[in-house]
Structure 1
């Protein structure tokens, strides 16, 4: 799929919007499965066809500087009897990118789908 430089795909907008929602609720860090569940709830899983699609989009957003990530503490995962998770967080540039994508000015204190013009 070809796109203009600086243009976000619909899935990327959804990911960043969900990340901003999480940040607004006080939980700014998220893992892939968590964001997949949020996206499925919000969009009825229309855009997310496979987890590979999600992780490729997360990688593109991180490469663009819109997300940062690191691995969670191994002891936390071991205590819960599961593998470590890669945790993502929206950067300040994500807010600007969403604002630019929507072509509107958004008060940074207002976070959520309605703030970005999404229903």
Structure 2
């Protein structure tokens, strides 16, 4: 696994935050499969992110306070005949980390020395 630089996010974490904020604006809470589909759509990928990788990143980000999560109501899941989903939300800290990471990834502006006029 790549080593994390202090205060920086991995590419997958940036993708999770971006896709999560999009889903949150339209659907409120989001769950892993919907998140994986949105990441694939955003990246124009043929395959979804490996679920083991995705869920480990979600747990790590939840622990770091970038996401918050809760289990869906069991009765709701049972009513539609599927297992409960773990629902996620991007926190304020997650939005700030996302914006900071994008700013850190922007290339530095090129400055040219001013010509000396004689």
Q: TM-score, normalised by structure 1?
A: 0.79
| Residues 29-70 of structure 1: CA deviation (Å, up to 9, x unaligned) | 100011011111111337954110100110111111000000
Q: Does the Cα contact within 8 Å between 1:19 and 1:28 map onto a contact in 2?
A: no
Report SS of the residue matched to 1:5.
coil
Query: Structure 1 unaligned runs (5+)?
Result: 105-116
Indicate whether 1:14 and 2:15 are aligned.
Answer: yes
Query: Structure 2 unaligned runs (5+)?
Result: 107-118
Q: Which has the larger radius of gyration?
A: 2
Deviation at residue 91 of structure 1 after TM alignment: 0.4
Q: CA RMSD in A?
A: 1.9
Q: TM-score, normalised by structure 2?
A: 0.80
Report SS of the residue matched to 2:39.
helix
Indicate whether 1:23 and 2:35 are aligned.
Answer: no
Length, aligned pairs only: 104
Instruction: Give matches, 1:1-119, under 5 Å.
Output: 1-25=2-26, 27-45=27-45, 49-103=49-103
Cα distance 1:42–1:68, how it changes in 2: closer, same or farther (>3 A)? same
Cα distance 1:51–1:23, how it changes in 2: closer, same or farther (>3 A)? same
Provide the rounded CA distance (Å) in 1 between the counterparts of 2:93 and 2:15.
15
